[in-house]
Structure 1
Amino acid sequence: MAHLSSRRRHSRSPLKAFAAVAVVCAVAAGGAYAAGVGPFDRGSDAPAPAAADQARAFLADWSGGHYDRAAARTTNPSRARDVLRSFTAGLDIGKPRLTAAAAERTAGDRVRVAFTAKMPVTGLGTWVYKSHVPLQEQANGSWKVDWSLGLVHPHLSEKEKFRLERQDTAVPQVEDRNGKALTGKAYPSLQPLLAQFTDGGGRPRGSILLVDRVTGETKRTETTFGRQAGKGGEAGDAPVKTTLDAAWQSAADRALESGADGRNASLVALRVDNGEILAMANTPATGFNRAVSGTYAPGSTWKIVTSSALLLKNAVTPDTVVDCPKHLIVGKEFHNVETSEFRGATFQKDFTESCNTAFISLRGKLGGSELGDVARTYFGVGQEWHIGIPSYDGSVPRPADETEKAASMIGQGRIQANPLIMASVTATAASGRFHQPTIVLGSKDGTSTTPLPAAVVGRLRTMMRATVTGGTAHVLADLPGEIGAKTGTAEVAEGEENNGWLVAQRGNVAVACVVEQGVTGGGSAGPILHNLLSSVPGDPS
């Protein structure tokens, strides 16, 4: 179970807790070193690398919701902080994806960095536009972002602002995979989500308008979402066919209701052979679908991906001895849950007991971007998914330094996922092949992945099974079937309890559950998935 900290037992990573409850899309510029600004020409007209670094850091802070930090990088911190915060909140924007281009010098003491903004508008879709970050060199040689409203969006000004308008959309009839009607009353977790199935799995309708700040007069329509009235008819004309299974959905709702103990929690169940989603549930059943749109550190459930990367390189085998000490220092102190240790442990033992220090000690076996490459190439994480409703598809940025690389080995740092992603990771590990998750029949698939080698799949399945029979997922050991699983404990923020994770695979079903502030995966998510798998003992039809 992932648990990183300084010497205090419950210290936290810099990842802020609000990221777990925002409606989000993946963040491309997760830090001052993550955006794609290439090597600079060192001629007289070449932009200063420090200026480009400042622009990338500003975009990273903005995208991460760190408005105070972003504003402090500008020439007008007070105004910048207020505008960045109100722009996001006023337009119901979740976590942006801000991708920087190359820097260019515009004058002797000025540089600009163009960027593409992808702004996820809650429940509607993504607003995409281009802008740039202007930078000015200061008297002390440092660089600051030259603040203006036009930085946020080229059309934003002191005279004009943006307004979000949502159009009422009829809630469609929604059916499960067998033609059974799915209603919010019968399936509470679906109630706030049913409108997202309009337009055959598209998004509800709405627009972002540019309006006069004084009169409110509309100057132009910046973007629209969903099928507009008069262009193909109204939603709800025919039932929307989903991949959901009424039995699994009902069992998921009951499992969360009885096992979450009042905490925020969510889960996803999907088919291993084709990625079709059988159930998605949240508690409380609010309008935010954390199960498929949340952003969480996956903790030690991510060791499935880390193990795959190591096994693909033959860096280890399950029988390789990889010592598991209590502590390991890589820029900061990392330790295991309850400061456990397993001297002389095999790699399989490290996996089944979720030993952080053992995994971190293997970081030198992987290149800087290798974990992200494996996640994308074999597991589809970070590619653009089209599941039929808005979703967040994961982010695995290249680590900025050795400390962050150590954290990424155990599913911390800036790695982000949700139950949908981790259920898919589990299904891929069990079958060897990624299938884009879908919830609406006929959803397009633009992903491209490579199958895992059979030998790697066999070792993953063996280690996941051993985690149930003799490891941290023993809470599932009394259930029938050859269940394989992986627990996770993920740090969130200073002063808050860890999130608890559990992923599991039984037959043709993969499931994933996260419980916010659940402390441990086995103790919080374990009973929920035990309840779920007990309630629906067989594979879906």
Structure 2
Amino acid sequence: MRKGVKGAVIGTVFAVMLGGAGYGAYNIVSALDGDGGTGASGETSEKSGPPSGDEVAETTKAFFAAWEQGRGAKAASYTNNAVEAEPVLTSFGGSGHLTDVKITPSPAQGTTVPFSVEATVSYKGRSKPLTYDSELKVVRGITTGRALVDWQPTVVHPELGKGDTLVTEESASPPIEAVGRDGSVLTKEKYPSLGPVLDDLRKRYGKQAGGTRGVELSIRHTASGAADTSLLTLTEGRAGRLPTTISPRAQAAAEKAVTTYKESSVVAVKPSTGEILAVANNRADGWNAALLGELAPGSTMKIISAAMLIDNGLTTADGPAPCPDKAVSDSATFHNLPGLPPNESATLADSFARSCNTAFVKFSDEIQDDSLTKEAQEKFGLGRDDWKAGITTFDGSVPVSEGPDTAAALLGQGKVQMSPLNMASVTATAITGAFRQPVIVPQSLDGRPLARAEGLKSGTVDQLRAMMNRTATSGTAANAMRGVPGSIGAKTGSAEVDDQATSNSWFTGFSDDMAAAAMAQQGGHGSDAAGPIVAQVLRAGG
């Protein structure tokens, strides 16, 4: 789902030499540093089982001492991945300009050791203190038996990711004061999910907003195009004012909604304009999956599939779409969710509201291999990589398919990939008939060209709205949408993922001039996790 491989130059060199990390990496780094490969305790005999309390204490003491002394390679030698640890630990006192380091461990909790870090950031005569908490875990080396720090970038700082380093210098872009549609200031502290959004907006519009640069300690991300994450400001720059389309009321509701479910994301848009009203994520990895996620959307894709069937004259909302117990496409057998009774006389509206898979699969032999791709691209504006939202987005992917892949694509599986932003846009197009490319910064700010698409015929829109309304009032989305005011509609989705026992939960819905879509990884059925998230945002309004 997340693209881009991060790494450091030294990591690349050592990987070529060693074919991977581990004890081999430790040997080379330790030898260069004069450690001789004996580790904290000086023992070379192999041991097994979890590290003892004494080993945990010895290893952390040696690791912390080397870190405090600014000896990055030495500190890395006490980890189980010295190749990746060394550039991060070296950047702490190097490009990060962090000195006077004092690390205070708390009592170990088994093999986990919480600790606090105090340091001073000094750069060109300016200095400021920095304090934060982190933790590490001590593990047994697989091949050596040594007690080693289990390397994670978060050991050095809780906001560091794989391949990231610390840098103190004049900021790459002037700071911004991003404001919502009501004129109030949007901050990471008030709206944590907007952190990566505000970083990206600063990188893109800092100079245009008219600010001046300051000096900051930042996390330098190695992913192509990723904006730095500011941690501490030594010298204040002047912030330029940047208008956004974010609704503080919707954003607050979205932030609260995703806290209920792990690995969840939600986006809300205004269908009449394409303006993005809210973006929220609750993820352990900090990834902005709401805008950049690339996952199979499950049966929420049936909005596009139903539109394609109607536009190609294969059926209508009141036309036939039988729902058998199973359906076969090119020798691949597809089933419905457990407990769904078959209905051979079902209409498309019936099968849509009940989320019958086999009804859609039965049409797979009647459509061209590129029919769904054309519908997605030409009517819904997806999969062309041409959105210019004012921030980096994934624009959806519905590749041309054949055989059983075509049937899977109709169900939002196979090679189809979407983000919550994509599905919120799909709902907006379905209920208005017009594709309006989502934006988070007004086009008037920079005059950038927005993506265009044909949109849908009014007859198709009327049928889609009616089917989505039925789904929200008496179909699979009814429980989640109960109490949502106004003119409503929705579609549920469950996406199966290889090697994952529980499906991903997807849900998209609308209330008057607001559409929202959510995804919760391993959340189960669409109405179980993603549905309540969407409903909470829709109830708040924009």
TM-score (norm 1): 0.62
1:298 aligns with 2:267: no
- Distance, in Å, in 2 between the alignment partners of 1:201 and 1:82 is 40
- Distance, in Å, in 2 between the alignment partners of 1:412 and 1:236 is 48
Which residue number corresponds to residue 278 of structure 2? 279
- Distance, in Å, in 2 between the alignment partners of 1:457 and 1:254 is 32
Cα drift, residue 479 of structure 1: 2.5
Partner of 1:239, secondary structure, is strand
Which residue number corresponds to residue 334 of structure 1? 334
Question: Residue type matched to 2:337 in 1?
Answer: V
Is the alpha carbon distance of 1:236 and 1:339 closer, same or farther for their aligned partners in structure 2, counting shifts above 3 Å? farther
Which residue number corresponds to residue 200 of structure 2? 196
1:405 aligns with 2:406: yes
C-alpha distance after superposition, 1:347-371 (max 9, x if no partner): 1100000100000101123211110
| 1:177 maps to which of 175, 181, 195 | 181
- Distance, in Å, in 2 between the alignment partners of 1:524 and 1:370 is 31
Which residue number corresponds to residue 489 of structure 1? 494
1:229-308 aligned within 5 A: 237-257=239-259, 259-260=260-261, 263-284=262-283, 287-308=286-307
- Distance, in Å, in 1 between the alignment partners of 2:381 and 2:294 is 16
Question: Residue type matched to 2:187 in 1?
Answer: T
Question: Residue type matched to 2:265 in 1?
Answer: S
1:471 aligns with 2:475: yes
- Distance, in Å, in 1 between the alignment partners of 2:413 and 2:334 is 11
Is the alpha carbon distance of 1:163 and 1:248 closer, same or farther for their aligned partners in structure 2, counting shifts above 3 Å? closer
Is the alpha carbon distance of 1:274 and 1:357 closer, same or farther for their aligned partners in structure 2, counting shifts above 3 Å? same
Cα drift, residue 254 of structure 1: 0.9
Cα drift, residue 526 of structure 1: 1.6
- Distance, in Å, in 2 between the alignment partners of 1:368 and 1:235 is 55
Question: Residue type matched to 1:441 in 2?
Answer: P
Which residue number corresponds to residue 315 of structure 1? 314
Is the alpha carbon distance of 1:389 and 1:474 closer, same or farther for their aligned partners in structure 2, counting shifts above 3 Å? same
Which residue number corresponds to residue 143 of structure 1? none
Cα drift, residue 313 of structure 1: 1.4
Q: Is this contact kept in 2: 1:173–1:236, CA < 8 A?
A: no
Question: Residue type matched to 2:449 in 1?
Answer: D
Which residue number corresponds to residue 30 of structure 2? none
Cα drift, residue 428 of structure 1: 0.2
Cα drift, residue 338 of structure 1: 0.8
Q: Is this contact kept in 1: 2:484–2:511, CA < 8 A?
A: no
Higher relative CO (CA 8 A, sep ≥ 6), structure 1 or 2? 1
Question: Residue type matched to 2:279 in 1?
Answer: M
- Distance, in Å, in 1 between the alignment partners of 2:272 and 2:538 is 18
Q: Is this contact kept in 2: 1:196–1:202, CA < 8 A?
A: no
Q: Is this contact kept in 1: 2:491–2:509, CA < 8 A?
A: yes
Q: Is this contact kept in 2: 1:385–1:447, CA < 8 A?
A: yes
Partner of 1:523, secondary structure, is coil
- Distance, in Å, in 2 between the alignment partners of 1:236 and 1:288 is 28
Of the two, which has the highest radius of gyration? 2
C-alpha distance after superposition, 1:384-435 (max 9, x if no partner): 1111111111111111x31111101111110000100000000000000001
Is the alpha carbon distance of 1:242 and 1:346 closer, same or farther for their aligned partners in structure 2, counting shifts above 3 Å? same
5+ residue gaps, structure 1: 1-18, 25-61, 63-77, 84-88, 92-161, 205-222, 228-233
- Distance, in Å, in 2 between the alignment partners of 1:502 and 1:362 is 23
Is the alpha carbon distance of 1:410 and 1:381 closer, same or farther for their aligned partners in structure 2, counting shifts above 3 Å? same
Is the alpha carbon distance of 1:193 and 1:176 closer, same or farther for their aligned partners in structure 2, counting shifts above 3 Å? same
| 1:516 maps to which of 499, 514, 521 | 521
Question: Residue type matched to 2:375 in 1?
Answer: V
Which residue number corresponds to residue 440 of structure 2? 439
Partner of 2:527, secondary structure, is helix
Cα drift, residue 235 of structure 1: 8.3
1:134-173 aligned within 5 A: 168-169=171-172, 171-173=175-177
C-alpha distance after superposition, 1:233-270 (max 9, x if no partner): x986412211101111001101111x31xx20000001
C-alpha distance after superposition, 1:110-134 (max 9, x if no partner): xxxxxxxxxxxxxxxxxxxxxxxxx
Cα drift, residue 480 of structure 1: 2.2
Which residue number corresponds to residue 430 of structure 1? 431
Cα drift, residue 380 of structure 1: 0.6
Cα drift, residue 494 of structure 1: 2.3
Which residue number corresponds to residue 527 of structure 1? 532
Partner of 2:392, secondary structure, is coil
Q: Is this contact kept in 1: 2:271–2:428, CA < 8 A?
A: yes
Is the alpha carbon distance of 1:448 and 1:236 closer, same or farther for their aligned partners in structure 2, counting shifts above 3 Å? farther
Q: Is this contact kept in 2: 1:203–1:226, CA < 8 A?
A: no
Cα drift, residue 196 of structure 1: 1.0
- Distance, in Å, in 2 between the alignment partners of 1:342 and 1:181 is 53
1:205-224 aligned within 5 A: none
Question: Residue type matched to 1:516 in 2?
Answer: Q
Partner of 1:381, secondary structure, is coil
Is the alpha carbon distance of 1:239 and 1:468 closer, same or farther for their aligned partners in structure 2, counting shifts above 3 Å? same
Is the alpha carbon distance of 1:184 and 1:342 closer, same or farther for their aligned partners in structure 2, counting shifts above 3 Å? same
Cα drift, residue 322 of structure 1: 1.9
Question: Residue type matched to 1:440 in 2?
Answer: V
Which residue number corresponds to residue 119 of structure 1? none
C-alpha distance after superposition, 1:61-80 (max 9, x if no partner): x9xxxxxxxxxxxxxxx99x
CA RMSD of aligned residues (A): 3.3
Partner of 1:487, secondary structure, is strand
Is the alpha carbon distance of 1:355 and 1:235 closer, same or farther for their aligned partners in structure 2, counting shifts above 3 Å? farther
Question: Residue type matched to 1:333 in 2?
Answer: T
Partner of 1:505, secondary structure, is strand
Question: Residue type matched to 2:245 in 1?
Answer: T
5+ residue gaps, structure 2: 6-15, 22-83, 88-162, 209-223, 229-235
Which residue number corresponds to residue 351 of structure 2? 350
Cα drift, residue 192 of structure 1: 3.8
- Distance, in Å, in 2 between the alignment partners of 1:225 and 1:459 is 41
Cα drift, residue 201 of structure 1: 4.1
Partner of 2:492, secondary structure, is strand
- Distance, in Å, in 2 between the alignment partners of 1:445 and 1:509 is 24
